């Protein structure tokens, strides 16, 4: 199984506006796009998406895979847990045994 780290990271929060203000004003990351539910900031070399979420909070990195379902099986068999799984082209969040969270995205 091959995993490729993307340059995207999501910050899921119940206060999107306040989080965007923090990352843009306190850390100085330029805002690329403001949208209801998902703001985009330039945290070069990363793109940071600040997303409204009342259920799941925190940072979520992203991994690209060639086969989403094989990756799911592989990760679950190696101690990961599913946080949210909506299928190909949608959110597929997994937490590894060490607390790091990933969105698994089929290329």
Q: What is the per-residue DSSP string for 11-65?
A: EEES-HHHHHHIIIIIS-PPEEE--TTEEEEEETTEEEEEEE-SS--EEEEEEEE
CATH number at residue 33: 3.10.180.10
Residue 105 forms beta bridges with which residues? Answer: 64
In angstroms, the CA 72 to CA 41 distance is 29
Range of the domain at 26: 4-106
Give residues with Cβ within 8 angstroms of 13, minimum separation 6: 19, 50, 51, 52, 53, 57
Tens-place pLDDT, residues 1-43: 999 999 999 999 999 999 999 999 999 999 999 999 999 999 9
In angstroms, the CA 28 to CA 44 distance is 11
Task: Look at the chain and report how many structural domains it folds into.
Answer: 1
Tens-place pLDDT, residues 48-88: 999 999 988 999 999 999 999 999 999 999 999 999 999 99
């Amino acid at each position: 199984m091959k995993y490729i780290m993307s340059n995207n990271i999501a910050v899921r929060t119940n206060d999107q506006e306040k989080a965007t203000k923090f990352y843009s004003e306190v850390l100085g990351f330029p805002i690329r796009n403001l949208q209801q539910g998902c703001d985009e900031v330039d945290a070069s070399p990363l793109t940071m998406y600040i997303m409204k979420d009342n259920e799941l909070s925190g940072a979520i990195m992203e991994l690209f895979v060639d086969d989403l379902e094989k990756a799911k099986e592989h990760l679950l068999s190696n101690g990961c847990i599913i946080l949210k799984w909506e299928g190909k082209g949608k959110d597929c969040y997994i937490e590894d045994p060490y607390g790091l969270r990933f969105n698994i995205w089929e290329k």
